[in-house]
Amino acid sequence: MKLHWITTGITLALSAQSQTFIQSGHVDIGIGYEDKAFDLHVHQEEPLEQEFAPGEAVFAIGSAAAGVSPGGAFTSFLGASGTPVWVLPSTENSQLPFLGFGTEELTASEWSGNISLSLKAISGPGTFSVWGVSGFGAPELKMSSVNGISADDRLLLVPGSHGHFNVGFSAPGDYLVTLEASGNHLIDGLRTSDPATYRFQVVPEPSTWALALSGIAAGALWLRQRGQQRPQ
């Protein structure tokens, strides 16, 4: 049993090492286009500019995201006033990932109309929603899993642009969110991407990266102790 626990710790550590945890700074869900196919990825701009495949990065959402629903027009997807909610806001907070949606890599003149980024699936302990706010303070819901997923759950993005929206979760925990991009290329015609799954960890306790480090330490200690006990 002890050996099994340590092996699990080492496995978790190796798994965590294969992913980059993004806890703050400007980062985008990026949409590119190469060889007649969409390329959905993660584009981190701060502190270092780098790109990851969707499965190589985790959006780590700390306790600064915790808040409550304001109720009113937000009730339909965030719950009644006072309901707990965890939000990545559309304005920058230094303690959270500043998540954007970027199509800067697309040449606007090559596309007819908008790029559609659609919600295809979600798994996790709660619901997932993306919304903007009008000049009058009213929510403009873009996608949500509250009432199931339909073709209406999508962001319409202008090719060659960049934007920020509020991204909310109804409970802490680990989420997998699957998105799909589509658009009408003037030469290649209607193109639809393969589904891309992004991972969000909302206020993980204990955090996965801390647990991974403890797993490495425990494994190293166990190996050292075994070495000391080995007959000479």
Asked if 22 and 97 touch (Cβ cutoff 8 Å), the reply is yes
CA 137 to chain centre: 25
* Interatomic CA distance for residues 176 and 128, integer angstroms: 10
Helix axes 208-229, 2-17, angle to 10 degrees: 130
Asked if 179 and 198 touch (Cβ cutoff 8 Å), the reply is yes
* pLDDT in the model for residue 116: 98
The DSSP H or E segment spanning 213 is helix 208-229
pTM: 0.81
CA torsion angle for 3, 217, 19, 58 (degrees, to 10)? 100
Q: Pairing between strand 20-22 and 57-61?
A: parallel
How is residue 102 written in tokens? 């970027």
* Interatomic CA distance for residues 140 and 134, integer angstroms: 7
pLDDT confidence tier of residue 227, bands split at 50, 70 and 90: very low
Give yes or no for a cis peptide into 47 (omega within 30° of 0).
yes
Asked if 96 and 88 touch (Cβ cutoff 8 Å), the reply is yes
Which amino acid is residue 231, in one-letter code?
P
* Strands (DSSP E) found in the chain: 20-22, 25-34, 37-44, 50-52, 57-61, 66-68, 84-88, 97-102, 111-123, 128-133, 139-144, 154-157, 162-164, 166-169, 173-185, 189-192, 196-202
Average pLDDT over residues 129-133: 97
* Interatomic CA distance for residues 162 and 147, integer angstroms: 28
Burial class for 130, CB neighbours closer than 10 Å (0-12, 13-18, 19+)? buried
pLDDT confidence tier of residue 204, bands split at 50, 70 and 90: low
Tell me the pLDDT tens digit for each residue of 51-77.
Answer: 999 999 999 999 999 999 999 999 999
Tell me the pLDDT tens digit for each residue of 145-165.
Answer: 999 999 999 999 999 999 999
pLDDT confidence tier of residue 48, bands split at 50, 70 and 90: confident
